[in-house]
Amino acid sequence: MSATVRLPALSYFFPAHNEEGNLRGLVEDALSTLPGLAEAFEVVIVDDGSNDATPALADALAAADPRVRVVHHERNRGYGAALRTGFGSARHDLIAFTDGDRQFRIADLGRLITRFQVDDPDVVVGFRIKRADPLVRTLYARAYRLANRIFFGLRVADVDCACKLFRREALAGIGVESEGAFFSAELLIKLGASGRRVVEVGVPHYPRTAGSPTGARPGVVFRAMRDFWLLRIRMWLARDRALGRGAPILGRS
């Protein structure tokens, strides 16, 4: 499903923590596919404190093509922090991201772009048509989605689907506190509370073929639940103040 017409410009970024097995293929896929989706584009690699060959490989890929840039975190700061850096590093007015594990195809950004061109929303959020993850992650995701709907009224089919497209201007004035896995949910909650229009479109999801997933690790889950309840309690106590907390998405990383 390709875009109706090419976008004038697109910033595409992805977080990468110990993704040496996926990095080159993902960048090559982006460089071959994005010219069909946008007249001008950039690829931004966010190396989140990797301790394998990811940093050196990212530098080599950036040196080989001026359309590729890399931003390094000196230490592993977490998924949300990597997304924040990606948003803050983007130069164009439309910003898209996927994860660095190649469970989404760059070509499927065309589905989001088509929906954007047809409906003119602020944000297009993908949802995985058929999730290609172990059962434990799928069950966790269902419970997490239900909790976000009950406690925040977040009616998004797939909160953490790492295939999203944003207008830069929609992110202006939005701050997010979480540096971990709750980042995406917090961002969507605050975008909705600010009146931004969010639409959804289905995207394929593919099995991971290299590297190891980290989303179901106990530390990651605990951090997400901590951030979840901190926001919920603060909103009960002072909703407007809670929604205004957090570092700006478009501020310095």
The mean per-residue pLDDT over the stretch 31-48 comes to 98
Tokens of 13: 């970024």
For position 215, what pLDDT does the model report? 55
* 7-246 CATH fold: Spore Coat Polysaccharide Biosynthesis Protein SpsA; Chain A (3.90.550)
User: Comparing 7-11, 102-106, 218-222, which segment has the lowest mean pLDDT?
Assistant: 218-222
Residue spans of beta strands (DSSP E) within the chain: 7-16, 38-48, 68-73, 94-98, 123-128, 163-167, 175-176, 198-203, 247-248
Neighbours of 243 (CB within 10 A): 18
Identify the three-state secondary structure at position 239.
Answer: helix
Domain ranges for the chain, please list them. 7-246
Do 191 and 123 meet the contact criterion of CB atoms below 8 Å apart? yes
* pLDDT tens string 217-253: 778 889 999 999 999 999 999 999 999 999 999 975 4
User: Comparing 108-112, 123-127, 175-179, 208-212, which segment has the lowest mean pLDDT?
Assistant: 208-212
Do 250 and 170 meet the contact criterion of CB atoms below 8 Å apart? no
User: If we measure between CA atoms, which residue out of 91, 112, 128, 117 comes closest to residue 9?
Assistant: 91
* CA distances in angstroms from 233 to 14, 143, 148, 222, listed in the order given: 31, 19, 13, 16
Burial class (CB in 10 A: 0-12, 13-18, 19+), 204: middle
Helix (H) or strand (E) holding 192: helix 183-193
What's the gap between Cα 65 and its chain centre? 23
Full-model pTM:
0.94
Neighbours of 106 (CB within 10 A): 24
